[in-house]
Chain A
Amino acid sequence: MRKIKEFIIEKLILICGIASIFFVVLIFLFLLKEGLSVFNIVSPFNFLFGKSWYPISEPPQLGILPLILGSLLVTLGAAIISIPIGVGCAVYIAEVAPGKIKEILKAGIELLAAIPSVVLGFIGMVTLVPLVKNIFHLPTGLTALSGSIMLAFMAMPTIVSIAEDALYSIPKTYKEGALALGATHWQTIWRVMLPAASSGILAAIMLGIGRVIGETMAVMMITGNAAVIPQSILAPVRTLTATIAAEMGEAVVGSEHYFALFAVGIVLFFISFIINVTADLFLHKKQ
């Protein structure tokens, strides 16, 4: 009797064990199921590289190049801001900060990670957006730049915590060896620790960027959402994610617009898949 019960439980455990695979496949299949139909109307090439996105005009123009460029521009800006600051902060926490302050800083980073994206978007709207508008004398502060700054902020917890882990997991002997040779603490960090942790730091950066590309609410609230090919970082842009979030509510189920938004989802799924698999490779190279 007990044996039968345990047999059933263990089978249940196995099923749940592979549930993650099941869900990833399920997500992919349902995106394909709903999204592939768009390619009856527009070729994959014209979909990815078409310059205009007018999904409800007649006939609809379904080129997502403006959205891809919007995402790229905002992501690039966020990366330029967040990588040096994030890695610098990770080094400070891992190597420089004294014990008690280290714990406070780590708690601060965790706090940032916990703040919902819609709250950050709201705060960005009421503080950052007017600031950008006034500094650059723009008609609106809802720009790619505002989005980049806000997203850089949201990428920080990922970059800092993973990079800090990478630094932390370097064998102590590396550091002690360099210090024993008379190098200063900073020289040791710069010449020994950072190179030794490089693959982990690279993974941290990639996952941070992954977070940025997938971020939806904050970016939708502060980038202005103009679906045109961006001319400047001070102009409004619209990202892939924001397009889905903003338009799916109005798209008629089964319409071309609906299919196209799912196809955008497929693109996002692929991007995040590639980023996560590569980052994972980097993380495991370390060991």
Chain B
Amino acid sequence: MKRNSHRAQNIAFFFLLMATLLIVVPVGLIVVIIIQKGLPAINWQFLSDVPRQGMRAGGIFPAIIGTIYLVTGAIVFALPIGLLAAIYLSEYSKDNPLNRIIKLAIINLAGVPSVVYGLFGLALFVIFFKFGASILSGSLTLGIMILPIVITTSREALESVPQSFREVSLSLGASKWQTIRNIVLPNAIPGILTGTILGLGRAAGETAPILFTVAAFYLPQLPKSIFDQAMALPYHLYVISTQVPNVDEKIRYGTAFVLLALVLFMNLVAIIIRTKFRKKKKW
């Protein structure tokens, strides 16, 4: 009896391990394949040249720059709104119906399919506000998309600041805003930074929201203003993988490598900040 149940346990744990390996091993393989096949394509010319011969040669410089512009624009929009929203939820809101509706709205905002964001950006920014397909339209669309990430992580960071700090500050005659500004925010900065960077990584990798709001199929020059179209790394990878025949595999893998490296680098930075902060925590 006892032996049987232990055998059952061993079998069960074996299957659990298999399930885990079925996820983790392919993840490792994907990263290894992209590094192995993509890294040889990387050289200065690939990173700094414009695409040539219908994207079958040359580099990906405009796509890198376009992605940097888009991501910057998205965070410039999402960080202030997201941070203030997080402050509202953490410091001002009470347990009432409004608060519940806000939380539900954030959950839904996080769940809206990315291509629906694309539609929304097209309807609101490109057509209604007449921004056209432009960096501005794309950034705003991406900004709204990453808003839930910024809000949720910032709010967690703010709420992890001990309540006693707030009480002490208030008891010394500080106003509520002074308390937030001088005590709560400085101690939540690492967490807010983590959320911001995660949001950046997400914005850098998304394709569907920029399909109809900014992305240019082939634009071998740099955008001159926020009202210009731009190339972007994820869309460029999509284009050379499916829309342009006979692209050298090296260029595809190289582009995938640069995009993956960019996104993973941001995530890595976020993780490092998070762990450092946890170790250094003073209370």
A contact set with B: CB distance below 8 Å: 2, 6, 9-10, 12-21, 23-24, 26-27, 30-31, 33-34, 84-86, 88-89, 91-93, 96-97, 105, 107-112, 114-123, 125-127, 153, 156, 160, 184-187, 189-190, 207, 210, 213-217, 221, 241, 244-245, 248-249, 253, 261-262, 265, 268-269, 272-273, 275-277, 280
Per-residue CB proximity of B229-273 to A under 8 Å, as 1/0? 000001101100110000001001000100110011001000100
Given A24-B108, A30-B124, A85-B22: A16 touches B13 (CB 8 Å cut-off)? no
> Once the chains bind, are B234 and A269 in contact (CB under 8 Å)?
no
> Once the chains bind, are B13 and A96 in contact (CB under 8 Å)?
yes
Q: Which residues of B contact A123 (CB under 8 A)?
A: 30, 33-34, 256
> Once the chains bind, are A214 and B113 in contact (CB under 8 Å)?
yes
Q: Does B172 contact A (CB under 8 A)?
A: no
Pair count A-B, CB < 8 A: 269
B163 to chain A, nearest CB (A): 19
Which single residue of chain B is at the shortest CB-CB distance from A211? B111
> Once the chains bind, are A185 and B9 in contact (CB under 8 Å)?
yes
Q: Which residues of A contact B34 (CB under 8 A)?
A: 119, 123
> Once the chains bind, are B23 and A122 in contact (CB under 8 Å)?
no
Q: Contacting B241 at CB < 8 Å: which of A27, A125, A160?
A: A125
> Once the chains bind, are A108 and B24 in contact (CB under 8 Å)?
yes
Q: Which residues of A contact B93 (CB under 8 A)?
A: 17
> Once the chains bind, are A19 and B24 in contact (CB under 8 Å)?
no
> Once the chains bind, are B24 and A105 in contact (CB under 8 Å)?
yes
Q: Which residues of A contact B207 (CB under 8 A)?
A: 116-118, 216-217
Interface of A is mostly: helix
> Once the chains bind, are A16 and B81 in contact (CB under 8 Å)?
yes
Q: Does B144 contact A (CB under 8 A)?
A: yes
Q: Which residues of A contact B85 (CB under 8 A)?
A: 16-17, 19-20
Interface residues on B, range: 35 or more
Q: B130-152: which have CB < 8 Å to A?
A: 144, 147-148, 151
Interface of B is mostly: helix
Per the bound structure, the CA–CA distance linking A105 and B264 in Å amounts to 16
Per the bound structure, the CA–CA distance linking A10 and B211 in Å amounts to 37
B contact set with A: CB distance below 8 Å: 5-6, 8-9, 12-13, 15-20, 22-24, 26-28, 30-31, 33-34, 80-85, 87-89, 91-93, 98, 101-102, 104-120, 122-124, 127-128, 144, 147-148, 151, 175-178, 201, 204-208, 211-212, 234-235, 237-238, 241-242, 249, 252, 256, 259-260, 263-264, 267, 271
> Once the chains bind, are B20 and A88 in contact (CB under 8 Å)?
yes
Per the bound structure, the CA–CA distance linking A277 and B178 in Å amounts to 36
B121 to chain A, nearest CB (A): 9
Per the bound structure, the CA–CA distance linking A241 and B211 in Å amounts to 12
8 residue pairs, one from A and one from B, having the closest CB atoms: A214-B113, A17-B88, A116-B205, A88-B19, A16-B84, A186-B9, A92-B16, A276-B111
Per the bound structure, the CA–CA distance linking A123 and B105 in Å amounts to 34
Q: Which residues of B contact A187 (CB under 8 A)?
A: 5, 8-9
Q: Which residues of A contact B118 (CB under 8 A)?
A: 244-245, 248
> Once the chains bind, are A114 and B201 in contact (CB under 8 Å)?
yes
Per the bound structure, the CA–CA distance linking A6 and B175 in Å amounts to 9
> Once the chains bind, are B108 and A276 in contact (CB under 8 Å)?
yes
Which single residue of chain B is at the shortest CB-CB distance from A22? B105
Q: Which residues of B contact A261 (CB under 8 A)?
A: 119
Per the bound structure, the CA–CA distance linking A88 and B260 in Å amounts to 28
B73 to chain A, nearest CB (A): 17
Per the bound structure, the CA–CA distance linking A8 and B92 in Å amounts to 14
> Once the chains bind, are B30 and A214 in contact (CB under 8 Å)?
no
Per the bound structure, the CA–CA distance linking A17 and B85 in Å amounts to 4
Q: Which residues of B contact A16 (CB under 8 A)?
A: 80-85, 87-88
Which single residue of chain B is at the shortest CB-CB distance from A153? B26
Given A12-B84, A280-B107: A119 touches B259 (CB 8 Å cut-off)? yes
B169 to chain A, nearest CB (A): 14
A112 to chain B, nearest CB (A): 5
Q: Contacting B113 at CB < 8 Å: which of A93, A122, A215?
A: A215
Per the bound structure, the CA–CA distance linking A186 and B20 in Å amounts to 16
B213 to chain A, nearest CB (A): 10
Which single residue of chain B is at the shortest CB-CB distance from A213? B113
Per the bound structure, the CA–CA distance linking A207 and B113 in Å amounts to 12
Q: Contacting A216 at CB < 8 Å: which of B18, B114, B122, B147?
A: B114
> Once the chains bind, are B260 and A116 in contact (CB under 8 Å)?
yes
> Once the chains bind, are A262 and B119 in contact (CB under 8 Å)?
yes
Which single residue of chain A is at the shortest CB-CB distance from B37? A126
A126, A213, A261: residue with the most chain B Cβ atoms closer than 10 Å:
A126
Q: Which residues of A contact B204 (CB under 8 A)?
A: 116
> Once the chains bind, are B16 and A248 in contact (CB under 8 Å)?
no
> Once the chains bind, are B81 and A265 in contact (CB under 8 Å)?
no
> Once the chains bind, are A272 and B238 in contact (CB under 8 Å)?
no
Given A241-B113, A241-B115, A265-B119: A273 touches B108 (CB 8 Å cut-off)? yes
Given A10-B177, A119-B237, A268-B115: A20 touches B92 (CB 8 Å cut-off)? no
Given A116-B206, A217-B238: A244 touches B115 (CB 8 Å cut-off)? yes
> Once the chains bind, are A117 and B107 in contact (CB under 8 Å)?
no
Given A13-B92, A85-B19, A217-B207: A33 touches B123 (CB 8 Å cut-off)? yes
A24 to chain B, nearest CB (A): 5
Which single residue of chain B is at the shortest CB-CB distance from A262? B119
